[in-house]
Every structure is written in C-alpha cells, then in structure tokens.
Amino acid sequence: MNRDSLYIGGRWVSSTSGHTMAVENPATEEIIAHVPAGTGEDVHRAVSAARAAFDGWARTPMAERGALLGKLHEALSARAADIAKTVGLELGTPLKVAKNVQAGLPLAVLRGYADLAADPVPEESIGHSLIVHEPVGVVGAITPWNYPLHQVVAKVAAALAAGCTVVLKPSELTPLVAYLLFDAADEAGLPDGVLNLVTGTGTEVGAAIAGHPDVDMVSFTGSTATGRAVSHAAADRIARVALELGGKSANIILSDADLTKAVKVGVGNAFLNSGQTCTAWTRMLVHRDLYDSAVELAAATAQGYRTGDPFDEGTRLGPLVSAGQRDRVRGFIERAGARMVAGAADVPDKGYFVAGTVFADVDPASELAQEEVFGPVLAIMAFDDDEDAVRIANNSRYGLAGGVWGEPERALAVARRLRTGAVDLNGAAFNPVAPFGGYKQSGVGRELGSYGLAEFQQTKAIQR
C-alpha cells in the first residue's frame, strides 16, 4: 500500500506539495501514519485524469461496469479484516462494530451496486419520447471521518455504476482506510483515471474540488456548515450538488411501546460509534406515563457501556476521533443545564474518551436538544400525546432520521408526520438499499440503492 502517494490516472504519484499530514490514533494519541498533503494543483491533475477517462467509461455498457464493480467488491472483501483494523486504529471504533458496520456495510453497498449495474433497468418511453439516463460527468466526492469507508463507497460505487468518473478526498482525520479501496481498485483493473484519490485538508483540497470548473457534480458528506460552503462554491458554475449533512434525530416512545426494548435500543443507537453517527437518535421523546421508568432504564443502560481500548472485546464506547471533538462534546455536557442521570464516569487518561452521558428533563429549545453534539450524549424529554411528540420531534432545523415505538399502525401514522428522510418503526433494521438522505438542513438528495444511482445521472428525452 502506498500511503505516501496519491492515486491519479491509474498510478500512484507524489503530491506536488512534497508535504505530509500525520494521522493519529485517538485511543492512544500516537501518530500511526502520514499521508500526502495534497494541493489545488493535485486536484487539477486528478480532475484532468477523470475528464480524460469519462467518455470511455460513460460509453462502457452498464453491465460491464457492474462486472468491474463485482471485481472491486471481490478485491475489497479480501481486505475486510484490514478494513476493520484500520478503522479501529484511525477512528477508534470498537472491533465488533468495526467489523460489522465499518467493513460490513460498505461491502454490502458495493455488492448492491455491482448487482444493480449488472442488471440495468430497461429504458422507458413516454409517448413518442425515449427516456435515457446518462452519467452526470466528473464527480468530486468529499467525505467525513465517522464512517470513513462507507461514506466513500456510497458515493464511489453509485457514481461508477452510473458511468461517472470520480476524484475522492477522504477526511484528513481518517484517510487510511480509503487506501485499501484504491489498492483494491488497482488490483481489480478499473480503467485509468476512472477513480482518483487526493488526500489533504478541506480548505485546500476540498475547496479546490468544490470550486473546480471541470467538476460536474460535488457529492459531499459532512457538517452542515461545510455543506453550505461547498454549495456556494458549486453554485458559481451551476454544478450539481448532493449533500448528506448533520442530524438531531428523535426516538419517539409512545404510550403503548415496549418500553424496555425501546429504551435499550434507543441508547444503543445514540451511542453507536461513540455517538459519532449522523442518524443517531440523540433525542429520546417519552410519553409522560412512561417517563420516569424510561429515565431510570436509560441511565442504567448507559452505565453498562464500557469505555476503553477499541480492540478489547468488552469495549462498547471507543474514543472520540480527536482532541478537538472531545473538547467540543465536553463543552455541550458542561453547558447542558439539565439533570444528568448518567455520565462523568472514569475514562482512560490517554485518548479522547467521553463516558456515555444521559440528561433528563431537557428543554426542547435548549442547545442540547437543538445542536448536533456528535458524542455519546443522550437528551431525554417528556411529551403529552402523539400530537405533542410530533411537534417536539419536528422542532429542529435538521431532518435526517428517527424512530417510533408503539402499536404498528399508530407508530406508522406518527412516522408519516415526521419531517425526516428516514424513520425506523419498533427497531426495524437499517436497509442499505433504501434511499438515505435528509430533509431541511440535513441535506439535499439521496444515497444508496437505485435512488443513490439516480443522483449521478442526467435524464434525456429523445423524440422519435
């Protein structure tokens, strides 16, 4: 693996900067690797390579592209254990979640796109018009650190299946796992220039991608503030933008819910990946009749979450990704102004750990109920009836996900009224081929499955 190189035009090449950036293990505070600090010039080289490869890749029949994605899946699958270990090291995800989610999910998504492309949907006619779907063009993909391979694959696999070529910039905090994908792409024999990697900072490499005149579409996952900057940069040339941004999702526990399951699954969801999950149910909304029991149960559940070494089988909460993120989360806890019922427990001295924390009696208008904390911090509040639950849940500038627990028909009626891109009823599992994305300031567009593919396509009507 060439961690000291960029991947441009099918070759491992040096950055024009000659500089590198350190990658830290957040559980030990040790530097574990260095990657190139890419430049605007590197982005330009990568975009040129992607542009040169575009015509050939766009004209390659979709089924052939699907077959190549199948080979990529095979090459990446052979690296599954390495993926889990790498994400454990650079992000601190506990081993079990690293294996099942950080490695398992992107492999499932990649397999799904290989299958989707291998069996293309027949073209449709509307009256005397033939409707054809064509690739958007050169895609700039900019991704965050919390699910560092999944977020890359959700973009790259869909874009490649659609016939786009890609320049990827992974997060500077977790760039290592992307190298495993590029190693696999090199082995699978993707045509030169179809998939390119430029590592570096957001302000240098990310901004250069978002503002590049020859990038037809920017697909971004990250914070709402950065998404706004990316949108502005792309607007100057009317480039297409897809945004997957933050969230402040509500888990609504109705009066007829299975309380124990709803609370235990709810705490697990809020604390997944140390709470560094965009869809995390960080607000628990409980019917007043069940409220005291729910608070007690949530506190006990949170206290059972052991914090520590991600490679220790008993660990449920790894560190936060960086010192900055740890300090930010501590700030939210200090300013919470609500009743802490779990938290403040001992955590290892070294590493950026925060104990699982639960606040009760949280004011729905407070900072803790409105802002994305991105740490293991749950805010519990009471509601009076279904109407009140919907009102509190929708009182957010975000609209990414949510959960509802109760009698299925009643829960479905509540789910229909939530202004969010996804809702899970009674703990139903995540579906990696269902559309994923946000309402309001949680984003624009959808990823995953056929909806994710469509994001990377233009639609043409040919009259005949």
Q: Which residues are tagged catalytic? A: 244, 278
Window 215-234: residues binding ligand NAD (CB under 6 A)? 221-223, 226, 229-230
* Closer residue to ligand NAD in complex, CB, 151/301: 151
Q: Indicate whether 196 belongs to the interface with ligand NAD (CB under 6 A).
A: no
Site mask, ligand NAD, residues 378-417, x = CB under 6 A? ----------------------x-----------------
- Residue range at the interface with ligand NAD (CB under 6 A); choices 111-119, 240-248, 356-364, 382-390: 240-248
Question: In the range 339-378, which residues lie near ligand NAD by CB under 6 A?
Answer: 372, 374
State which residue, 65 or 240, has the beta carbon closest to ligand NAD: 240
| DSSP three-state, residue 303 | helix
Binding residue for ligand NAD, selected from 207, 254, 354, 379, defined by CB under 6 A: 207
Q: What is the CA radius of gyration of the chain?
A: 22
Q: Which stretch binds ligand NAD (CB under 6 A): 189-197, 300-308, 362-370, 435-443?
A: 435-443
Pairing of strands 402-405, 398-399: unpaired
Segment 282 to 311, residues that bind ligand NAD, using CB under 6 A: none
d(CA 146, CA 88): 11
Which of 326, 318, 331 shows the shortest CA–CA distance to 371? 331
Nearer to ligand NAD, 45 or 169 (CB): 169
Which of 171, 180, 179 lies closest to 206 in space, CA to CA? 171
100-125 burial, b if ≥16 CB within 10 A, otherwise e?
ebbbbbbbebbbbbbebbbeeeeeee
Report how far apart, in Å, the C-alpha atoms of 456 and of each of 64, 169, 450, 452 are. Answer: 17, 18, 10, 7
The set of residues, in sequence order, having a beta carbon less than 8 Å from that of 64 and lying 6+ positions away, is: none
The answer for 298, left when phi > 0, alpha when psi is -120 to 50, beta otherwise, is alpha
Per-residue binder mask for ligand NAD (CB under 6 A), 101-130, x = binder: ------------------------------
Alpha-carbon span 148 to 172, nearest angstrom: 10
Q: Residue 383 in contact with residue 392, Cβ under 8 Å? A: yes
DSSP state for residue 238 in the 8-state scheme: T
Site size toward ligand NAD (CB under 6 A) is 32
Mark the segment that binds ligand NAD (CB under 6 A) among 114-122, 203-211, 326-334, 385-393: 203-211
Q: Which residue's entry shows tokens 């509190």?
A: 392
210 vs 381 by CB, closer to ligand NAD: 210
CA distance 175 to 170: 6
Considering beta carbons, is residue 272 or 414 the nearer one to ligand NAD?
Answer: 272
- Binders of ligand NAD among residues 146 to 185 (CB under 6 A) are 146, 151, 169, 171-172
Q: Which helix (H) or strand (E) holds 403?
A: strand 402-405
Pseudo-torsion of CA 159, 160, 163, 167, nearest 10°? 70
Least spacing, CB of residue 211 vs ligand NAD, in Å: 8
The least CB distance from residue 280 to ligand NAD, in Å, is 8
Q: Select the residue interacting with ligand NAD from 145, 305, 332, 359 (CB under 6 A).
A: 145
Q: CA-CA distance, 275 to 146, in Å (whole number)?
A: 10
Q: How far apart are the first and last CA of the chain?
A: 52
| Contact of 153 with 432, CB cutoff 8 Å | no
Q: Which stretch, 99-107, 241-249, 282-290, 300-308, contacts ligand NAD (CB under 6 A)? A: 241-249
Query: What's the min distance (Å) between Cβ of 221 and ligand NAD?
Result: 5
Residue of 310, 376, 443, 449 that binds ligand NAD (CB under 6 A): 443
Considering only 26, 36, 94, 247, the residue that binds ligand NAD (CB under 6 A) is 247
Rounded to 10 degrees, the C-alpha dihedral 262/265/268/270 comes to: -50
* Only segment of 4-12, 118-126, 202-210, 356-364 that touches ligand NAD (CB under 6 A): 202-210
Q: Given the rule CB under 6 A, which residues bind ligand NAD? A: 142-146, 151, 169, 171-172, 201-203, 206-207, 210, 221-223, 226, 229-230, 244-247, 278, 372, 374, 400, 438, 442-443
